[in-house]
Amino acid sequence: MTQATWRVLGPGDDGVETSAYPVIMKLERSVFCLVVFVACSDPAEPDGGPADLGANDSGVRLDLGVIDGGADGGVDAAPNDLGIDGGGHPDAEPADLAGLDAETTDSSPLDGGEDAGPRYNCGLFSQDPGWTVAAGFRAVVIADSTNGLSQPVAATFAEGPFGGLLYVVDQGNDRLYSVDVLTGEVRVVVTSTAWIPGASLLTAITWDEDQIFDGNLYVADQGSDSDGDSRIYRVNAQGVPSLFVAAPGPGLDDVFALTFAPPGSAYPPGLYVAGDTDGAGPDWGRYDSTAAGVIYSEVSGIEGAVFDRYGRIGGQLLAARPLGGGYSGDGTLTTLAPDGTASGTIAAGLGGVHAPAIAPGGAFGRGVYAASWSTNRLYSIEGGVVNEVASGLSLSNYDANILAFSSDGNVLFVADRAASRIVCIEPVN
C-alpha cells in the first residue's frame, strides 16, 4: 500500500498533517462514503470544487450528497441528492440540500454554499386555491381541512428545538398545529384541552427567536366578548403549554398582536402586546420575563404588529389599524416610536388592513406586506406605493399574524381563515 499524507481536522484548528496508511475505501459508482472530521488533502494542489471538503484537494472529493457519482469534482451526479440541511428536512430543490456546505453563500441549487437552513419552495404541492396572484408568482395549498385545520388565524416559523416548522394557531378548534412546509405533514402540538385555564378564542402567535425570555412560543387568547379577559400562553419545544400572563393588565383585552423587540433596537426589551381594547384599558402593554407589564402606547385598534428587523422602515414598530370590524383604527399601517407615540403612516386607505409582515430578502425582497379582510387581498408596500400581490382570499377581522415568510425569503405562507387552509406563494421560475 502506498503511504499518503492526510490532513486531520479538529475543532478550531486549520488541520494537522500526518502520514498514515489510509483506510481502503471501495467506491462504487453509486455509493458515497463519508469520513467524519477527515478530508483528503494535497498541499501542492488547489481546491478542486465548491462542494469539496478538503482545503487543498485534487483527489477524491468528499461530498455531502447521499447519492453521488463517485470521485467527482464536488457536484453530485445524481439529481435526487438529499444532502444535509439545517432543519433536518429533505432538500427543497432536486439537486441540492444546501444546509451544510463548504462555501459561504448559495447561489444556485448546485452550489455548495453554507446555508442557514433549507431552501424553501412549494414544489411538492399543486392544489390551486383559486386566487388571482401577481405576474411571476403562483399559489398552492399545502394544508387544509383534510389535515384537521379549522380557521387558522396566525402562523410563525420557529427554529432550534422547534425544528424549523411552521406553527399555526387554529381558532376553530383551539389547537396549535405544526406544519412541515416541505412535506405537508401536519401535527397537533397542543390540543384544545391542554390550555390551562381553557382557551376561549385563540388569536396571535410569536416566537422568542432572540431568547429575550426563554426561546419559547407565545400564543394569545382573546378571551370572551367581555372586556379585559385576555391571556397569553407560553408553549415549550415539547408542546407543553403554560399560562404566561392573564388580564387585567395593559393591552390584555382582545389581543391580536404579539411581538418581541429585537436586541439592540431603540425599544425597551420585552413582549409587546396590543389588540382592540375598546377603551377597556391601556391599548398596549410591554411585558418582561416575569410577566410584569407596563403601559407602552395608547395608539388604538390594533390587528397585528411587527418590528422591523431589517432596517426597511428605520427599525421601527409597525402596527395595522383596520377601519371597522369592531376596531377603532383608520385603515392605515402606522409606525410607533420607542416612546409609544405614532411616528408615521406608510400606507393608508386599506380598510380592514391587518397582519403586517416584513420580508427578510430573497424573492420577496425586504418590502412590507399586509392583508385586508375588507377586500380579501394581499398587498406589498414599497416606497409608499401599494401593489396587489393576491386577491380572492377568505380573510376575517378575527385574523392575527396570518403571514409568515420562510427564512430564505423565497416563500410566503398565508393562513386563509375562512377557507381553513395554509397557502404557499412563490415566484415562478
Residue 217 reports pLDDT greater than 60? yes
**pLDDT tens, 400-425?**
999 999 999 999 999 999 999 999 99
Query: Do 207 and 301 sit in the same domain of this protein?
Result: yes
> What is the helix (H) or strand (E) element at residue 141, kind and residue range?
strand 137-143
Is 151 found in the same domain as 109? no
In a domain, 126, yes or no: no
Q: Is residue 200 part of a domain?
A: yes
pTM above 0.85, yes or no: no
Q: How large is the average pLDDT for residues 333-339?
A: 98
The domain boundary, picked from 87, 119, 151, lies at 119
Place of cell 407543553: 240
Residue 261 counted as domain residue:
yes
- Same-domain check for residues 68 and 160: no
Task: Give yes or no: residues 287 and 416 share one domain.
Answer: yes
CATH of the domain at 304: 2.120.10.30
Query: Which of 56, 88, 119 is where one domain is finished?
Result: 119
Beta strands (DSSP E) in 208-295 are 217-221, 231-235, 241-246, 255-260, 271-275, 284-287, 293-295
152 and 112 assigned to the same domain: no
CA 339 to chain centre: 28
Examine the pLDDT at 283 and tell me if it is beyond 90: yes
Cis amide bond preceding 197, omega within 30 = yes
Distance CA 229, CA 227 (A): 6
In a shared domain, residues 142 and 93: no
Give counts: helices (H), strands (E), the chain.
Answer: 0, 28
6 vs 306, more confident: 306
Higher pLDDT, 20 or 245: 245
pLDDT tens-digit series, residues 244-279: 999 999 999 999 999 999 999 999 999 999 988 676
How sure is the predictor about 282, in pLDDT bands with cuts at 50, 70 and 90? Answer: very high
For residue 287, pLDDT beyond 80:
yes
Angle at 375 between CA 370 and CA 379, to 5 degrees: 25
Among 2-6, 138-142, 317-321, 414-418, the least confident range: 2-6
Instruction: Please indicate, yes or no, if residue 125 is contained in any of the structural domains.
Output: no
Q: What does the alpha-carbon distance between residue 226 and residue 25 come to, in Å, rounded to a whole number?
A: 71
Q: For 30-83, how does the pLDDT look when each residue is reduced to its tens digit (9 = 90+)?
A: 333 333 333 333 333 344 333 333 333 333 333 333 333 333 333 333 333 333
Residue 101 placed within a domain: yes
DSSP-derived 3-state class of residue 113: coil
Is the pLDDT at 108 greater than 70? The verdict is no
pLDDT band at 194 (very low <50, low <70, confident <90, very high): very high
Q: What is the pLDDT of residue 315?
A: 96
Q: pLDDT (tens digit, 9 = 90+) per residue, 153-177? A: 999 999 999 999 999 999 999 999 9
85 & 147 share domain: no
The DSSP 8-state label assigned to residue 120 in this structure reads P
Statement: residue 311 has pLDDT above 80: yes
Bridge partner list, 219:
205, 233
Tens of pLDDT, residues 118-136: 678 898 899 999 999 999 9
pLDDT score for 280: 75
CB 295 within 8 A of CB 242: no
Same-domain check for residues 43 and 99: yes
Examine the fold and report which residue of 64, 94, 119 is the final residue of a domain before the chain moves on: 119
For 210, the enclosing helix (H) or strand (E) is: none
Residue 127 placed within a domain = no
Spacing of C-alpha 361 from chain mean position: 12
Please tell me whether residues 63 and 182 are part of one structural domain. Answer: no
What is the reported pLDDT for 165? 97
Distance CA 426, CA 362 (A): 11
CA distance 122 to 363: 13
Its domain, for residue 346, covers: 132-427
Cell of 339: 416612546
pLDDT of res. 243? 98
Number of independent structural domains in the chain = 2
Residues in CB range of 347: below 8 A, 6 or more apart:
332, 333, 353, 368, 370, 379, 381, 384, 386
Residue 124 lies in a domain: no
pLDDT band at 220 (very low <50, low <70, confident <90, very high): very high
Residue 381 lies in a domain: yes
* 47 and 157, same domain (yes or no): no
Residues 410 and 291 in one domain: yes
Q: What phi-psi label fits residue 346: left (phi over 0), alpha (psi between -120 and 50 degrees) or beta?
A: alpha
Lowest mean pLDDT among 178-187, 220-229, 344-353, 377-386: 220-229
Residues 418 and 383 reside in one and the same domain: yes
